[in-house]
Structure 1
Amino acid sequence: MTFYRIGVDVGGTNTDAAILDVQAAHELTRGVLASHKAVTTPDITSGIEAAIVAILKASKVDRSRILSVAIGTTHFINALIEADATRLDRVAVVRLCGPFTRQMPPFSGFPLGIHNVLDGGAYYLDGGLEMDGRPIAPLNEAQVRSTARKIMASGVRAVALVGVFSPLDHDDIYEEKCNAIMLDEQPELRVVCSKHIGPTGFLERENATILNAAILRTGHNVKYGFKRAMKRLNLTCPLYLSQNDGTLIDAETAADFPIKTFASGPSNSMSGAAFLAGLHGEHPKVRSSTPSSLNGDKNEGVVEPQILVVDIGGTTTDVCALLPSGFPRQAPGFVEIAGVRTAFSIPEVVSIGLGGGSKVEIASCPSSSASSSASSSASSSASSPSSLSSSPSSSPSRSSSCTTSVSVGPSSVGHELLAQARVFGGPTLTATDIVVAEGSIQLGDASLVSDVPVETRQAARRKLNLLLETVIDKMKMSTAPVHVILVGGGSILAAEHIRGVDKCIHPIHQGAANAVGAAIGKICGEIDTVEILQGKDENAVIAAACEKAIALAVSKGAAADDVKIVEVNKMPLQYMSQVTIRIQIRAVGRPVVPVERSSSSPPLSLDSRPVSPLPSPLASPSLSHPHTHDDTVSDQQTDSDRINTSHASFPSSKPSLGVDIATYRPDVRDGVWYPSDIDLEFISTGCAILGTGGGGPTYYEYLKSLKALNSYSRGRMRIISPTSLKDDATVCLGAWYGSPSVINERLAAGHEIIDAINALNKMRNIDRFDGVLADEM
Structure 2
Amino acid sequence: MAKYRIGVDVGGTNTDAAIIDILNTDSPSRGVCASVKTPTTPDVTSGIYTAIQNALSQSHVERNDVVSVAIGTTHFVNAVVQADSNRLSRVAVVRLCGPFTRQVPPFAEFPSDLKEIMGGPVFYLEGGLEIDGREIAPLDDGQIKSTVKEIQDAGVKMVALVGVFSPLDHSGIHEETCRKRMLELDSSLSIVCSHSIGGVGLLERENATIVNASILPLAKKTVRAFCAAMVKLELQCTLYLTQNDGTLTDAGTAAELPIKTFASGPTNSMTGAAFLASLDRGGKPSEQQVLVVDIGGTTSDVCALLPSGFPRQAPNYVEVGGIRTAFSMPEVLSVGLGGGSRVSVDEQTGAVRVGPESVGHYLTSKAMVFGGDVMTTTDIVVASGKSDVGDKSNISGISVEIARTARAQIQRILERAIDGMKTSDQPVVLLLVGGGSIIYMDGLKGVAECIIPPHHDSANAVGAAIAKVAGEVDMIELLEGKNESEVLEAAKKRAIEAAVARGADREDVKVVAIDKIPLSYATNKATRLVIKAVGKLAASDGSISQQTTDYSMGTDNEAAIEEHNRMAKSASETPQSPAKPSAQIDLDTYRPNVRNSTWYISPVDLEYIATGTGVLGTGGGGPSHLQFLECLQNIYASGYTGNMRVVEPSTLGDSDTCITGLWFGAPSVSGERIPAATELTTAIENCLRIAGKTDLHAIVTGEIGGGNGLSAFSSSVTYDVPVLDGDLMGRAYPTLEHCTPYVYGLPATPCAVADGKNNVGLVLNAESNRRAETMARSQCIDLGLMVGLSTAPLTGAETKRYIIPNTISQAWYIGRAVHRARRSKSDMIQAIFDTSPGKLLYTGKIIDVKRDVSRGYTMGHCLLAPLGSDEQETTSKSDAHDDGSDESRYLIVPFQNEFLYAAYTDPQTPEDPSKQDVICTVPDLISLLGQDGAGLGSQELRYGLRVNVIAMAAHPLWTTEAGLRVGGPKGFGLDMAWSKLGEYCEPMSVIREFSRDI
Q: CA deviation at 1:209?
A: 0.8
Could you tell me whether the CA contact under 8 Å between 2:92 and 2:122 is conserved in 1? yes
Aligned residues: 697
Take 1:73 and 1:278, find their aligned partners in 2: how far apart are those partners? 25
Could you tell me whether the CA contact under 8 Å between 1:98 and 1:126 is conserved in 2? yes
Match in the other structure for 2:93:
93
Residues 1-27 of structure 1 deviation map (CA, whole Å, 9 limit, x = unaligned): 671212111111222222222122233
Take 2:269 and 2:21, find their aligned partners in 1: how far apart are those partners? 19
AA aligned opposite 1:215: I
Percent same amino acid among aligned pairs?
49
Take 1:439 and 1:39, find their aligned partners in 2: how far apart are those partners? 31
In the alignment, structure 1 residue 773 sits paired with structure 2 residue 701:
yes
Match in the other structure for 1:331:
314
Match in the other structure for 1:650:
575
AA aligned opposite 2:72: G
Match in the other structure for 2:534:
588
**Residue among 490, 498, 507 paired with 1:561:** 507
Could you tell me whether the CA contact under 8 Å between 1:34 and 1:58 is conserved in 2? yes
Aligned to 1:234, the other structure's residue is in SS state: coil
Could you tell me whether the CA contact under 8 Å between 2:11 and 2:265 is conserved in 1? yes
Q: CA deviation at 1:184?
A: 3.5
Aligned to 2:181, the other structure's residue is in SS state: helix
**Residue among 753, 760, 764 paired with 2:687:** 760
**Residue among 696, 701, 720 paired with 2:622:** 696
Aligned to 2:662, the other structure's residue is in SS state: coil
Take 1:723 and 1:29, find their aligned partners in 2: how far apart are those partners? 78
How has the CA–CA distance of structure 1 residues 178 and 326 changed in structure 2, closer, same or farther, with 3 Å as cutoff? closer
Take 1:336 and 1:686, find their aligned partners in 2: how far apart are those partners? 22
Alignment of 1:499-578 (within 5 A): 501-531=447-477, 537-573=483-519
In the alignment, structure 1 residue 604 sits paired with structure 2 residue 530:
no
Take 1:232 and 1:317, find their aligned partners in 2: how far apart are those partners? 36
RMSD over aligned CA atoms reads 3.7
Take 1:132 and 1:479, find their aligned partners in 2: how far apart are those partners? 38
**Residue among 737, 741, 749 paired with 2:668:** 741
Q: CA deviation at 1:160?
A: 0.5
Could you tell me whether the CA contact under 8 Å between 1:81 and 1:652 is conserved in 2? no
Residues 319-354 of structure 1 deviation map (CA, whole Å, 9 limit, x = unaligned): 112223322222233333333223333322211233
Take 2:603 and 2:641, find their aligned partners in 1: how far apart are those partners? 11
Alignment of 1:226-625 (within 5 A): 226-280=226-280, 282=282, 284-285=284-285, 304-358=287-341, 364=347, 390-391=349-350, 406=353, 408-410=355-357, 412=358, 414=360, 431-432=377-378, 435=381, 440-443=386-389, 461=407, 463-498=409-444, 501-531=447-477, 537-573=483-519, 580-593=526-539, 604-605=543-544, 607-608=546-547
Take 2:132 and 2:279, find their aligned partners in 1: how far apart are those partners? 46
How has the CA–CA distance of structure 1 residues 461 and 111 changed in structure 2, closer, same or farther, with 3 Å as cutoff? farther
How has the CA–CA distance of structure 1 residues 351 and 171 changed in structure 2, closer, same or farther, with 3 Å as cutoff? closer
Take 2:683 and 2:118, find their aligned partners in 1: how far apart are those partners? 36
Could you tell me whether the CA contact under 8 Å between 2:169 and 2:475 is conserved in 1? no
Could you tell me whether the CA contact under 8 Å between 2:322 and 2:576 is conserved in 1? no
Aligned to 2:301, the other structure's residue is in SS state: strand
Aligned to 1:166, the other structure's residue is in SS state: coil
Residues 624-650 of structure 1 deviation map (CA, whole Å, 9 limit, x = unaligned): 89x854648747889xx99xxxx9883
How has the CA–CA distance of structure 1 residues 129 and 723 changed in structure 2, closer, same or farther, with 3 Å as cutoff? same
Take 2:588 and 2:562, find their aligned partners in 1: how far apart are those partners? 45
Aligned to 1:280, the other structure's residue is in SS state: helix
Aligned to 1:167, the other structure's residue is in SS state: coil
Could you tell me whether the CA contact under 8 Å between 1:318 and 1:349 is conserved in 2? yes
Could you tell me whether the CA contact under 8 Å between 1:2 and 1:23 is conserved in 2? no
Take 1:199 and 1:191, find their aligned partners in 2: how far apart are those partners? 18
Q: CA deviation at 1:694?
A: 3.1
AA aligned opposite 2:355: V
TM-score w.r.t. the length of structure 2 is 0.63
Aligned to 1:587, the other structure's residue is in SS state: strand
How has the CA–CA distance of structure 1 residues 679 and 471 changed in structure 2, closer, same or farther, with 3 Å as cutoff? farther
Q: CA deviation at 1:93?
A: 0.8
Could you tell me whether the CA contact under 8 Å between 1:465 and 1:498 is conserved in 2? yes
Q: CA deviation at 1:202?
A: 1.8
Higher relative contact order (CA 8 A, sep 6+): 1
Match in the other structure for 2:43:
43
Take 1:164 and 1:189, find their aligned partners in 2: how far apart are those partners? 22
Q: CA deviation at 1:187?
A: 3.2
Residues 698-747 of structure 1 deviation map (CA, whole Å, 9 limit, x = unaligned): 32222223323333317543456657766555432112333332333222
Residues 682-702 of structure 1 deviation map (CA, whole Å, 9 limit, x = unaligned): 543444454355343332222
Could you tell me whether the CA contact under 8 Å between 1:359 and 1:429 is conserved in 2? yes
How has the CA–CA distance of structure 1 residues 10 and 692 changed in structure 2, closer, same or farther, with 3 Å as cutoff? farther
Could you tell me whether the CA contact under 8 Å between 1:317 and 1:355 is conserved in 2? yes
Take 2:84 and 2:160, find their aligned partners in 1: how far apart are those partners? 19
Aligned to 1:736, the other structure's residue is in SS state: strand
Match in the other structure for 2:122:
122
Take 2:314 and 2:589, find their aligned partners in 1: how far apart are those partners? 30
Match in the other structure for 1:11:
11
AA aligned opposite 1:342: T
Match in the other structure for 2:935:
none
Gap regions ≥5 residues in structure 1: 286-302, 366-389, 393-404, 598-602, 611-620
How has the CA–CA distance of structure 1 residues 632 and 256 changed in structure 2, closer, same or farther, with 3 Å as cutoff? farther
Could you tell me whether the CA contact under 8 Å between 1:14 and 1:415 is conserved in 2? no
**Residue among 592, 597, 618 paired with 1:667:** 592
Match in the other structure for 2:633:
707
Match in the other structure for 1:377:
none
Aligned to 2:664, the other structure's residue is in SS state: coil
Residues 641-687 of structure 1 deviation map (CA, whole Å, 9 limit, x = unaligned): 99xxxx98833697379589996876375886665545544543444
Alignment of 1:130-209 (within 5 A): 130-169=130-169, 174-209=174-209
Take 1:650 and 1:562, find their aligned partners in 2: how far apart are those partners? 47
270-279 vs 166-175, greater mean Cα deviation? 166-175
Could you tell me whether the CA contact under 8 Å between 1:356 and 1:490 is conserved in 2? yes
AA aligned opposite 2:116: N
How has the CA–CA distance of structure 1 residues 215 and 2 changed in structure 2, closer, same or farther, with 3 Å as cutoff? closer
Take 1:673 and 1:407, find their aligned partners in 2: how far apart are those partners? 48
AA aligned opposite 2:297: G
TM-score w.r.t. the length of structure 1 is 0.80
Aligned to 2:673, the other structure's residue is in SS state: coil
Q: CA deviation at 1:588?
A: 0.6
Take 2:699 and 2:83, find their aligned partners in 1: how far apart are those partners? 41
How has the CA–CA distance of structure 1 residues 17 and 425 changed in structure 2, closer, same or farther, with 3 Å as cutoff? farther
Match in the other structure for 2:885:
none
Could you tell me whether the CA contact under 8 Å between 1:281 and 1:327 is conserved in 2? no
Aligned to 1:70, the other structure's residue is in SS state: strand
Take 2:165 and 2:586, find their aligned partners in 1: how far apart are those partners? 39
Aligned to 2:215, the other structure's residue is in SS state: helix
Take 1:628 and 1:576, find their aligned partners in 2: how far apart are those partners? 54
Q: CA deviation at 1:198?
A: 2.0
Q: CA deviation at 1:206?
A: 1.0
Take 1:563 and 1:174, find their aligned partners in 2: how far apart are those partners? 30
